[in-house]
Amino acid sequence: MPPADVLRLAPEVADALASGAPIVALESTLLSHGLPADTSGDVARQIEAAVRENGAVPATIAVLDGAIHVGLDEASLDQVAGNPTALKASLRDLAPVLATHQTGATTVASTAWAAHQAGIGVFATGGIGGVHRGAAESWDESADLATLAGVPITIVCAGVKSILDVPATLERLETLSVTVVGYGTDAFPGFYIRDSGSPVPWRLDTAAEIAAVVQQRRRLGLNQALLVANPIPAVAEMDRALHDETLVAALEEIGAAGVTGKDVTPFLLGYFHERTHGASLAANIALVLNNARLAAEIAVRTPTGAAVPVPPRHSAYVDQERGGTS
């Protein structure tokens, strides 16, 4: 674990870690760059409340005052939520943001890394980054993917936005040995919509079943993430026609605007929110809350403090150790 002065745990998070109480990590880029500034602080509090209502302690992560904060108090939350001047800080950006004492909002990649360093096992977000359309030329693939290949954490998301190349994203996740599980679905969700059109390799229907997979992964000592793809609730799903039409327009717009690099994802999210007059925003909020609830349910069933049961040894070994003759 990095030194305590650079990875600063909120007292409530430190207590929960010490007692093995369930914790859910939360990212902050969706607060600073994914949601409009006037709603983001309110949504941040709703997300934390959803985690608490389901029995876990929320730990929103951000870089403030030269330290990575795991768990934010009210004032700290307001430093990132609705603050578009906070830097979008992926894993590559953490050290420079710290060294220059700037405010950084953590992405899926940097949040997953920091949460794992702190000893937190479950993380909820909206959508993860993925492979962008046209990546064969632009090479634009989110650092979220490669990072999840090296961080053993359970991450609950609503899939990836259909703006991305979904089949290519799933191919990369397969290559990187990230376990992908659909929660109550055979289809990989498409963020605003329940079905992206691509299948998931595994389907599980309860938090208890997901917890059993987490347990097996811990016993195996696997280093990759477990990605739980949780579709947006049916009642909150975006109208399919509006979604498809906005998608076509967004793809045209991104080409025309010449936006590249880390600005692409925030640009596309903002474009959707504006063009659909808030319909995509309502969907976005609903899916994040839905993920926070499921993440808490999983965290409650996968306590990190609890000793992982050691599988019983084969009786032949036991006999040998006792000096028996079997």
Q: Which residues are catalytic?
A: 27, 161
Q: Which is nearer to Mn ion, 140 or 297 (CB)?
A: 140
Residue with tokens 């490669």: 146
Residues from 200 through 259 that contact ligand PSU (CB under 6 A): none
Query: What is the number of other CB atoms lying within 10 angstroms of the CB of residue 103?
Result: 19
Query: What is the number of other CB atoms lying within 10 angstroms of the CB of residue 150?
Result: 15
DSSP state of 130: -
Q: Which is nearer to ligand PSU, 34 or 71 (CB)?
A: 34
Could you tell me the two tokens for 74? 């009210």
Give the whole-angstrom CA distance, residue 119 versus residue 130. 25
- Interacting partner of 183 out of Mn ion, ligand PSU, none (Cβ under 5 to 8 A depending on kind): none
Q: Which is nearer to ligand PSU, 21 or 47 (CB)?
A: 47
Give the whole-angstrom CA distance, residue 153 versus residue 103. 25
Which residues have C-beta within 8 Å of that of residue 307, sequence separation ≥ 6? none
180 touches 201 (CB < 8 A): yes
59 touches 13 (CB < 8 A): yes
Q: Is 29 in the site for ligand PSU (CB under 6 A)?
A: yes
Residues from 50 through 89 that contact ligand PSU (CB under 6 A): none
DSSP class per residue in 251-298: HHHHHHHT--GGGHHHHHHHHHHHHTTTHHHHHHHHHHHHHHHHHHHH
Binding positions for Mn ion, rule: CB under 5 A = 140
β-bridge mates for residue 70, sequence order: 9, 61
- Interacting partner of 159 out of Mn ion, ligand PSU, none (Cβ under 5 to 8 A depending on kind): none
Q: Which is nearer to ligand PSU, 183 or 191 (CB)?
A: 191
Q: Using CB positions, name the residue nearest to ligand PSU.
A: 34
CA 318 to chain centre: 43
- Minimal distance, residue 142 CB to ligand PSU, in Å: 3
Size of the site for ligand PSU (CB under 6 A): 19
Q: Which is nearer to Mn ion, 13 or 148 (CB)?
A: 148
- Minimal distance, residue 153 CB to ligand PSU, in Å: 13
Please give the sequence-ordered ranges of beta strands (E in DSSP) within 45-185, or none if there are none: 57-64, 67-70, 87-89, 104-106, 122-124, 154-157, 179-183
66 touches 110 (CB < 8 A): no
- Interacting partner of 273 out of Mn ion, ligand PSU, none (Cβ under 5 to 8 A depending on kind): none
Which range touches ligand PSU (CB under 6 A), out of 28-36, 76-84, 170-178, 227-235?
Answer: 28-36
β-bridge mates for residue 179, sequence order: 226
Which range touches ligand PSU (CB under 6 A), out of 22-30, 44-52, 225-233, 308-316?
Answer: 22-30
- Minimal distance, residue 252 CB to ligand PSU, in Å: 19
Residues from 127 through 156 that contact ligand PSU (CB under 6 A): 127-129, 142-144
Q: Is 27 in the site for ligand PSU (CB under 6 A)?
A: yes
Q: Which is nearer to Mn ion, 10 or 163 (CB)?
A: 163
Apex 312 CA angle, 310 and 313, nearest 5: 115
Could you tell me the two tokens for 99? 């060294």
- Minimal distance, residue 324 CB to ligand PSU, in Å: 55
- Interacting partner of 226 out of ligand PSU, Mn ion, none (Cβ under 5 to 8 A depending on kind): none
β-bridge mates for residue 181, sequence order: 202, 228
Site pattern 174..203 for ligand PSU (x: CB under 6 A): -----------------x------------
Residues from 261 through 300 that contact ligand PSU (CB under 6 A): 262, 265, 269
Q: Which residues bind ligand PSU (CB under 6 A)?
A: 27, 29-30, 34, 107-109, 126-129, 142-144, 161, 191, 262, 265, 269
